[in-house]
């Protein structure tokens, strides 16, 4: 068991250190763990990914917690999650320290002038899948009535109008209300 504990720490620390680009970038590392140690099959991994996507919490953390739990219960999930975030904490604290010193330099400002529009593009690219999955029925044969998920589109437009009109309403409120609407109207 001690050996497994060290393996979990080592593998997840490695993932945290080398997976660049967010939670999705950790998937190949998880798949490799499954293959190398026979910890889980690809099928189990895809179930874990699906559940991680639809439960609260950042997906990358959820996946690490889930894999850790499947290996060694609560202890495993603590080890895997803490190990995957440890490199981030170290790296970001170092960068944050330097960033504070250089962020007012002209060249750094110029670089970030270019990064801001790119970040908006990354955010849209990351959400596109969610938009397509939620508002359209892509598996159905194409047709005006089958391809668009009118219930979801209408609900979204109504919520959008409400949020624009009353911009004090907290995001949590919309999430809870929308969950209730989803259950009542069988989305």
Position among 38, 117, 141, 143 found at the interface with another protein (CB under 8 A): 117
Q: Which stretch binds another protein (CB under 8 A): 2-10, 30-38, 120-128, 137-145?
A: 120-128
Q: Give the residue from 148, 144, 118 showing the smallest Cα distance to 135.
A: 148
Report if residue 174 touches another protein, rule: CB under 8 A. yes
| Residue 54 or 145 having the CB closest to another protein | 54
Among 1, 3, 38, 114, binds another protein (CB under 8 A): 114
4 binds another protein (CB under 8 A): no
With contacts defined by CB under 8 A, how many residues of the chain interact with another protein? 95
CA dihedral 16, 19, 22, 27 (to 10 degrees): -100
Nearer Cβ to another protein, position 70 or 147? Answer: 70
Q: Quick check: 133 binds another protein (CB under 8 A)?
A: yes
Q: Which DSSP state fits 179? A: H
Task: Work out the number of other CB atoms within 10 angstroms of the CB of residue 159.
Answer: 15
CB 154 within 8 A of CB 136: no
Residues in region 60-89 near another protein by CB under 8 A:
60-62, 65-66, 69-70, 73-74, 77-78, 81-82, 84-85, 87-89
Out of 42, 107, 144, 145, the residue judged to bind another protein by CB under 8 A: 107
Q: Which residues contact 61 (CB under 8 A, 6 or more apart)?
A: 23, 81, 84, 85
Closest approach, Cβ 176 to another protein, in A, equals 8
Strand partners, 148: 136
- Chain positions 27 to 66 lying near another protein, rule: CB under 8 A, are 50-62, 65-66
DSSP letters, 154-178, are HHHHHHHHHHHH-TTS-HHHHHHHH
């Amino acid at each position: 068991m001690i050996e497994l504990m060290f393996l979990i720490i080592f593998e997840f620390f490695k993932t945290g250190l080398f997976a660049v680009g967010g939670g999705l970038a950790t998937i190949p590392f998880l798949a490799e763990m499954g293959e190398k140690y026979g910890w889980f099959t690809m099928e189990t991994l895809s179930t874990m990914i699906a559940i991680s996507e639809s439960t609260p919490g950042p997906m990358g953390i959820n996946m690490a917690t889930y894999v850790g739990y499947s290996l060694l219960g609560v202890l495993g999930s603590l080890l895997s999650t803490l190990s995957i975030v440890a490199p981030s904490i170290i790296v970001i604290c170092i960068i944050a320290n330097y960033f504070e010193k250089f962020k007012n330099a002209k060249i750094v400002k110029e670089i970030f002038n270019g990064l801001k529009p790119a970040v908006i593009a990354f955010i849209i690219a990351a959400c596109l899948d969610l938009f397509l999955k939620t508002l359209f029925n892509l598996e159905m044969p194409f047709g005006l009535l089958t391809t668009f998920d009118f219930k979801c589109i209408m609900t979204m437009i109504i919520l959008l109008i409400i949020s624009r009109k009353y911009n004090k309403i907290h995001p949590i409120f919309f999430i809870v209300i929308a969950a209730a609407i989803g259950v009542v109207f069988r989305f």
